[in-house]
Amino acid sequence: MSANYKRWRLFFLFCLGLALGTTFCMKWLEGDFVYSGGPFTIIGLEITYPKEKIMEILTGLNDHVRYLLTAQLYYDFIFMAGIYPGIAALCMMGRYKTRSATWRNILLWLAILQAVAFACDFAENVYLLEWIKAPSSVSDLGVYHTIVYAKWLLALIGAVFGIIFSIRRRYPAGN
Instruction: Tell me the average pLDDT of the chain.
Output: 93
pLDDT in tens, 77-136: 999 999 999 999 999 999 999 999 999 999 999 999 999 999 999 999 999 999 999 998
Q: In Å, how far are 2, 146, 165 from 83, measured between CA atoms?
A: 24, 20, 18
Residues 38-58 have a mean pLDDT of 92
How much of the chain exceeds pLDDT 90, in percent? 88
pLDDT value at residue 90: 97
pLDDT value at residue 83: 98
CA dihedral sign of residues 53, 56, 59, 61: negative
pLDDT value at residue 39: 92
H helices present in 96-113, as ranges: 101-112
Instruction: Evaluate if residue 173 carries a pLDDT over 60.
Output: no
Pair 91, 108: CB distance under 8 Å: yes
Q: What are phi and psi of 2, to 5 degrees?
A: -75, 160
Question: Where does the pLDDT of residue 37 fall: very low under 50, low under 70, confident under 90, or very high at 90 and above?
Answer: confident
- pTM of the complete model: 0.91
